[in-house]
Structure 1
């Protein structure tokens, strides 16, 4: 259910605020932006637009009624054109180089260190009073308000706001959306960007997979005329990522989950592809909970409408072509974890291998009415398809454009489960063995490019290891640490005990403690269970496993993780990865039983196919979007809900992305550039700046 906020928004809330004249430096203009001191302005809604008459809870839809989207979006491209015109109608004042550099410095400090409006205003006032009298009096005076400085520098975000709610009786929430066309226009106006987007054409053609450009998907993307989509100079392919993360939790607040809708342009070289300035954020879904699969389409609808236009092609003014040139853009693939992929690409949690065209037909059928809810559920179970909002794009195929993320599948999935569930909980690693492993973690030295895990790993309070920690542990350390801990057992070719599952022998008829575990011989003589409660006992059911075989099994996963993490692969490497993953699955089943064959192990078998399609797994991994989420989570907010936190995140992200090119220009760098190596001219200051960036 939805409520539409007109795009003709009230002042401070609409698609584009009217441009203020150069002398309109009023205090009221300071509250047009949400970024700075953490105090959010009040969002004035358009009360002239009434709430829809039929308001039902999301779960109250009949079985044959299509679920309406959470957000309604008025298709009015003239308003988009107005917003774009207003955003580019920024007064260009001939500030002196000293004044302009100070304005850029103050804006950068606000972005990087959270300096608020009042202290920023004090710095600007001090410069105006103490420094400007020493400069040329013919130069324009420096503004004394932060938002005026941002507007004159072109870093003030232009966002559109929508009001929405989940169900009747709940407060309305704000969803801030950044226009994709406006952001793309800004990016292409930066010097050097178009040249960087064409670098992939000069790559050395060989049989190795070095980037997404070398995959089958890049070459097989066709336009409606059946020609290669990327043959045109500005036909762009992007990666879409949507991932939810928890913001904060304390004794006074509960979990608050938000999701950032992000894109990166794959035509850019890797050194520029994953920077803030070259990453597009559409917005952040308001918390406190993740939207359901039936509601995610509402948040994507404004972006999808622009994607449809960009697929056909739009004339956009660029740095190399001020009068405009044709720009086309498509989503090459979705990158995210299993939950996000199932929600956005509309998969069931498990389904047989599907044809991408048939899956699209089944998903479109799911959106049409059914005779009953049971028929709809049966269709979903039989086809494994649900409707995805991305199906609005004529070229979208969920099966072929939703690769498995190796970070969540291997590092946070298989590696983490092997260590915790199999080795620690399964008591293959005893407390004495764990102490040896932890001493090894404490004394080991890893390359500077790696992140060593916490030395308390394996303890209940051993901290929360990240994907980088699990990757280092699996690829660099775990096989060697296990050999050191089990040296005597391995030399003697002895066995270890693997605890399958503690068995509860209490008389509970609904107990499933032994549901998937065969009864051991010691329990065959026990009397049948009754409903009479008895003292609860837990029996330790263990099976012997050979220590050498366990180390070989761990080494197989280490080899697979190492191959999948490579930035450059040959086709024989991909075949080797496929063989290793299959061998790992077989040895896991033999050693630890069929219960150890989990969903992530099945997903991992698809990785080789996806590497052939999209290049090395690093380039379709969700790691880059996870890093952006981490940066968003560190943005200071006042923790006001109903979309205000997410609006602050979106505004801060957009502002920081636009500030860095301005800093580059003042430092003598043009466009988006990678930092020079340490020790080269300007390397130290530039590198430290981009570390914060």
Structure 2
């Protein structure tokens, strides 16, 4: 302003006339904002339409042939001047892949990182995802390796591989009493980047935001992934020509592939075309049935075929009624997915069993809360009394005796535990769990290891996060249980040995470097853990992740150390989205 005041005449007037008064004008001028496309999203079936005047008022999508959705797409809103305008009820925001890739490769230093070739020899030690089999075995249409080896340049053509994540979060926070909504987010990360910078916020591709308030159902998820797949199909087959990048001012060609699908079980199954983990065909990697989930002879498991999967998915798509599709997917465990349009994508190998959710938030958590009785819903203490949880629930509605209390059994016996569970006294239940929890709380630990809660599973104590369950399962529980049970005989000693196998398997799976010997050690420990479960807790209903976790060594051999591809970074992105201040409009 001071500079402009010293200029006379028309230049001064032009300066003030052209000076931006809105910060959005400045952002547009400097091109800081990413390129995004807003699409009209059907509030019923999630089908997408262009945001234009030609878009119909109602959804014309046919979920099955001959059955039109018909849901309204727009609402009328009156402006300040009294004019009625139509606005979409819901919008899906998509960031086109070619535009993001162009901006990504225009940043200084990025191409130096992502254009690094793989080593010629297959490494025996896997330090990152490029050392393992999956990316090294990825072949292009000509039958040659997709990613370059040392000495290969592909005439300056960039070859890039991405991981995909999809997840839902509550934009209003995770408070139990708060309003429950589901906002979807899709991310991709470039696996060519070194792991030290792969998951930095500035390197993450935010594919799109799926609108609230509810999640799409299984087949509806295909609508929101379709815009991305529309760009990824030609990105593999013909490539994307960029007019300019940082290292190539005259432009360069690129080819890109989406390989691992990294997500929790519900999101992964929705996206990949597999049925949920609670179905009869519960495993996406082998054909084992849910009724036989405790079959531990893993050499007898029949591997699923990607070719057969595609045949069944095409057959599902050809069905002319919803009932026919339901019958087929129930029998086969397969339905159509947009990802199958990627001709190189293997739904049996690339739909990962994600270790953060499977091992930490399922296997360790279930053992601690259910078998060790640290959860409010199953307070069976040391694992001895878990068989009586159902009896406790049934006893809540049972009428009390008319007069007098029955004599209480002796403390420390099964009869006493049964009495406590039937009568539901919190004080009695606390006595079952306090020895273990108190010992955990009194442990002296290094300053960099966090202390766990005194009352795990109690509502007002909050939930343990994945890294807290990892610390509990590999540090807190083993140290404390060894101190409490190592000198005991019989069941307690067996329970200790059983849990140590689980802790050892988790520690091996989460090591920073991997090799085939460690993957085999994981299998040995986890099999011993499952065999112990069958003996110690014969009526325990196994969650599906116990079987799925036995497949983790195969994914380690395909994709290397889990820290280079698990879901921890994507959960941080969800947290960042939750913290964005909005007016919820």
TM range (shorter): 0.7 to 0.9
Change (3 A) 1:358 1:441: same
Q: Give the drift of 1:286.
A: 0.6
Correspondence 1:156 to 2:33: yes
Note the C-alpha offset of 1:598: 2.2
Asked whether 1:330 is paired with 2:257, we answer: yes
Q: How does 1:88-167 map to 2 (within 5 A)?
A: 128=1, 145-167=22-44
Between the aligned partners of 1:492 and 1:175, the Cα distance in structure 2 is 60
The reply on whether 1:379 has 2:328 as its aligned counterpart is: yes
Mapped contact 1:347–1:385 kept (Cα < 8 A): yes
SS, match of residue 148 in structure 1: helix
Q: CA RMSD in A?
A: 2.7
Using a 3 Å threshold, how does the CA distance of structure 1 residues 446 and 335 change in structure 2: closer, same or farther?
farther
1:291 corresponds to 2:211: no
Match of 1:635 in 2: 580
Structure 1 residue ranges without an equivalent (≥5): 1-127, 495-545, 641-693
Partner SS for 2:260:
strand
Aligned to 1:234: 158
Distance 1:332 1:164 in 2: 27
**Corresponding residue number in structure 2 for 1:184:** 101
The change in CA–CA distance for 1:206 and 1:255 in structure 2 (over 3 A counts) is same
The 1:340/1:492 distance shift into structure 2, 3 A limit, reads: closer
Q: Give SS of 2:456's match.
A: coil
Q: Secondary structure at the match of 2:168?
A: strand
Q: Distance in 1 between matches of 2:196 and 2:171?
A: 29
Q: Find the residue that maps to 2:27 and give its secondary structure.
A: helix
CA contact (8 A) 1:264 1:280 kept: yes
Closer/same/farther in 2, CA of residues 321 and 397 from structure 1, 3 Å limit: same
The 5 Å alignment of 1:599-678 reads 599-640=544-585
Is this contact kept in 2: 1:456–1:463, CA < 8 A? no
Instruction: Give TM-score scaled by structure 1 length.
Output: 0.62
Separation in 2, partners of 1:152, 1:451: 47
- 1:347-496 aligned at under 5 Å gives the runs 347-349=274-276, 350-351=282-283, 352=287, 353-370=303-320, 373-424=322-373, 425=378, 426-428=380-382, 431-432=430-431, 433-434=433-434, 437-438=437-438, 440-441=440-441, 443-446=443-446, 448=448, 451-484=450-483, 486-487=484-485, 490-493=486-489
Q: 1:265 to 1:447 in 2, by over 3 A?
A: farther
String of CA shifts for 1:320-372, please: whole Å, max 9, x gaps: 111111100010110001101110001123151411111111112111125x6
**Structure 1 residue 417 displacement after superposition:** 0.5
Given that 2:106 and 2:245 are in contact with CA atoms closer than 8 Å, whether structure 1 keeps it comes out as: yes
Provide closer, same or farther for how the CA distance between residues 183 and 163 of structure 1 changes in structure 2, counting only shifts above 3 A: same
After superposition, residues 208-223 of structure 1 pair within 5 angstroms as: 208-223=125-140
CA offset at residue 439 of structure 1? Answer: 5.3
C-alpha change, 1:478 and 1:368, in structure 2 (3 Å) is same
Higher relative contact order (CA 8 A, sep 6+): 1
Partner residue of 1:344?
271
Looking at structure 1, the residues matched to 579 and 125 of structure 2 have their Cα atoms a distance apart, in angstroms, of: 38
Deviation at 1:611, TM superposition (A): 0.7
Tell me how far 1:419 sits from its aligned partner: 0.4
Q: Deviations over 1:152-183 (max 9, x none)?
A: 43212321111122332576201111111111
- Note the 1:235-274 alignment, pairs <5 A: 235-248=159-172, 254-274=179-199
Once residues 184 and 287 of structure 1 are traced to their aligned partners in structure 2, the CA distance between those partners, rounded to angstroms, is 27
Per-residue displacement from partner, 1:232-291 (whole Å, max 9, x unpaired)? Answer: 451100000001112226799631111111000000001111011111011111111111
Distance 1:636 1:197, change over 3 A: same
- Aligned equivalents of 1:268, 1:417: Cα separation in 2: 35
- 1:547 and 2:492 correspond: yes
When residues 251 and 300 of structure 1 are mapped into structure 2, their CA distance, relative to the original with a 3 A threshold, is: closer
Of 379-388 and 282-291, more deviation after overlay is shown by: 379-388
Counterpart position of 2:410 = none
8 Å Cα contact 2:98/2:240 also seen in 1: no
> Equivalent of 1:565, from 510, 522, 525?
510
* Aligned match of 1:670: none
CA distance in 2 between counterparts of 1:207 and 1:472 reads 29
The 1:549/1:436 distance shift into structure 2, 3 A limit, reads closer
**Aligned-partner SS, 1:242:** strand
Unaligned residue ranges in structure 2 (runs of 5+): 45-70, 76-88, 149-153, 277-281, 288-302, 384-428
| Equivalent-residue separation in structure 2 for 1:155 and 1:383 (angstroms) | 48
2:196 equivalent to 1:196 = no
Structure 1 residue 204: Cα displacement: 9.2
Secondary structure, aligned partner of 1:294: coil
Task: Using the TM superposition, give the Cα deviation of residue 151 of structure 1 relative to its aligned residue in structure 2, in angstroms.
Answer: 2.6
Query: Is the alpha carbon distance of 1:384 and 1:458 closer, same or farther for their aligned partners in structure 2, counting shifts above 3 Å?
Result: closer
